[in-house]
Amino acid sequence: MRSVARALERPTRALVAVHLRVPGAGDRELLGLARELRRVTRDAGAKLLVNRRPDIALVADADGVHLPESGLPVEAVRSLAPRWLVGVSRHDREGLEAAAGADYAFLSPVHATPGKGAPLGPAGFDALAAQSPVPVIALGGMDAARLRELRHARGVALIRAVLHADDPAAEMQAIDLALSDSR
């Protein structure tokens, strides 16, 4: 939690959202983390999205939910909370086409990531993102330098690049600059 708070210390030009994903967490543990992150994100002016669990997102007063490819339909979640941000995870053209109605799609993996299959590569990512019916967020082995390689990324999702950085806030600033440069 400390790394997330440190990453959000400095303002950015881009919309920042924290995606809470804790596989294997029990309901109460996940709710506790969501409530704690809600305080951190609200203080920083960032959004909070809960992975897969609209019930936890609702109780924690999150800004939305992120749905895995095998998750609930976007329309079902929108019927519960029409104002929420609803994102989805996708890995190919068919998945992106099925994402219509979502606010964004994570497309992954762009670069090699442990346990995530063959990477799309920058050219593969751009080819798919250019044809997507929804804004596409790059995921998988991303950092500021790699973000600059992409022409059609509307954003970037990061884990290691920020949370394992010596200075998470400085890394967020570098990503923000790279995102601004790529537009």
What does the domain layout of the chain look like in residue ranges?
2-181
The token pair at 168 is 């998470």
- pTM of structure: 0.90
Q: pLDDT tens digits for the chain (183 residues)?
A: 666 777 777 666 666 899 999 999 999 999 999 999 999 999 989 999 999 999 999 999 999 999 999 999 999 999 999 999 999 999 999 999 999 999 999 999 999 988 888 999 999 999 999 999 999 999 999 998 999 999 999 999 987 888 788 888 888 888 888 888 765
pLDDT for 167 equals 87
Cβ partners under 8 Å of residue 35, min gap 6? 60
What CATH class is the domain 2-181? alpha beta
What does the pLDDT read at residue 170? 86
